[in-house]
Amino acid sequence: MRILITGGMGFIGSHLADAYLKKGDTVYVIDNLTTGSLSNIKHLRQNPLYDDRFFTIVEDILNYEKMEDLISRVDMVIHLAAAVGVQYIIDNPISSIITNVRGTEIVLEIANKYQKKVLITSTSEVYGKHTHAPLRETDDCVYGPSSRFRWSYAAGKFIDEFTALAYHKEKGLPVVVIRLFNTVGPRQTGRYGMVIPRFVKQALSGAPITVYGDGTQTRTFTHVKDVVKAIMLLMKENRAEGEVVNIGGREEISILSLAKKIKEMTESSSEIKFVPYDVAYPKDFEDMQRRVPSLEKLKSLIGYTPDTPLDDILYDVIEYFKRWEGIAW
Ligand code: UDP
């Protein structure tokens, strides 16, 4: 099988490339290195076993010709390239919208032209401001006003979902849409605001662990290897075509408890410091108070749900940062 992974030099994409290569497939990755990095795939490029079936292209997904050339060569496309991370979205509002909306349109348009199976990556952010749990794929999506830029990410990804489903409905394009909840693991950087790599890095270096707000907001976390497994199973399941599916973790934890747990696991002397939202984020920021997925649909489709316990996820991230002490981010 030949697979194109857009955003394949990013955190999730590089793990996915790893898994498909291990399976014996041919993998093309395209990435503009905005948040991705060549170091994420260095080990794959250096592996002689992959010499003739791993191809890396440093280019933007908005380059239509390049995308057409790549999509026409492969059997399926996994579209992960996106502007991600709350901080990045807020700092780069125009390019984020163009990458996330126009980029996905290009992928779908070309995949449709060549009738290639495609996976579109959406996000738990599309649920918006709910506090109930668990969040089901059929729930309403509730956003704040357009003056609050955080919601541009959710709105853009929501349009991506509609576009994907429209191609499925109108043209019969085999498309799967996933809503990823907070995903963590080795190679994720804290540079764009992601909480676990930030807390681990802070704890290991003795810097204050920065809890935003009062720390009562909650999340679940999924190990990237479980996300990769779920994606690969979904791509093999015909019943997933034309569906939107949550992929996320099960253990709900408050951000304050997370900070305490990381402090304990790293035996850190760091203080836990509360940072008000208006200091942590630009004006008019709104956080999501709670975000817990329903995994029923995922389970019914592939018979699997992410199962790595939070402690093991944290252990992996801590070990990664210890090995890469001094890593720049
Ligand atoms: N957060 C925090 N301190 C940090 C970074 C993030 O308290 O240094 C909080 C953030 O406000 C949010 C949660 O951790 O409530 C998860 O943030 P992240 O950016 O990882 O993902 P999100 O779920 O917001 O997309």
Q: Assign 329 a pLDDT band (cuts: 50, 70, 90).
A: very low
Q: Is 167 left (phi over 0), alpha (psi -120 to 50) or beta?
A: alpha
Structure tokens at 59: 């280019």
| For residues 213-238, average pLDDT | 97
Would you call 153 a catalytic residue per the annotation?
Answer: yes
- pTM for this predicted structure: 0.96
Quick one: pLDDT at residue 96? 94
The four Cα atoms 58, 81, 224, 122 give a dihedral, to 10 degrees, of -170
In whole angstroms, give the CA distance from residue 25 to residue 246.
26
Secondary structure element (H or E) that encloses residue 212, with its range: strand 209-212
CB 316 within 8 A of CB 244: no
Ligand 1 and 229: CB distance under 6 A:
no
| 68-104: pLDDT as tens digits | 999 999 999 999 999 987 778 888 999 999 999 999 9
With the most atoms of ligand 1 within 8 angstroms of its CB, the residue from 35, 211, 220, 255 to mutate is 255
Contact 81, 118 (CB under 8 A): no
Task: Locate 135 and state its tokens.
Answer: 């969040």
Pocket test for ligand 1, best of 212, 252, 286, 290 (most atoms within 8 A of CB): 212
How far is 100 from 88, CA to CA, in rounded Å?
13
Helix (H) or strand (E) holding 78: strand 76-79
Please state the rounded mean pLDDT for residues 60-75.
98
Q: CB of 77 closer than 6 A to ligand 1? A: no
pLDDT value at residue 269? 96
Measured from the CB, is residue 210 less than 6 Å from ligand 1? yes
Cα-to-centroid distance, 126 and ligand 1 (Å)? 16
Assigned CATH topology for domain 2-184+221-251+290-308: Rossmann fold (3.40.50)
Using the mean position of ligand 1's atoms as its centre, give its distance from the Cα of residue 193 in Å: 7
Distance, CA of 26 to CA of 148 (rounded, Å): 42
State the Cα torsion 17-185-237-295 to the nearest 10°.
-170
Atom of ligand 1 nearest to the CA of 193: 19
Query: What is the structure's pLDDT at 270?
Result: 97
Rounded alpha-carbon distances, angstroms, from residue 295 to 13, 15, 78, 133, 286? 22, 22, 21, 11, 26
Residue 199 is predicted with a pLDDT of: 97
Residue having the nearest C-alpha atom to atom 23 of ligand 1: 182
Tell which residue, 22, 189, 100, 114, has the closest CA to residue 1. Answer: 22
Residue with tokens 């399976």: 23
DSSP string, 16-53: HHHHHHHHT-EEEEEE-SSS--GGGTHHHHT-GGGTTT
Is there a contact between 266 and 322 (Cβ–Cβ < 8 Å)?
no
**pLDDT tens-digit readout, 180-199:** 999 999 999 877 779 999 99
pLDDT digit string (tens) for 270-286?
Answer: 999 999 998 888 776 78
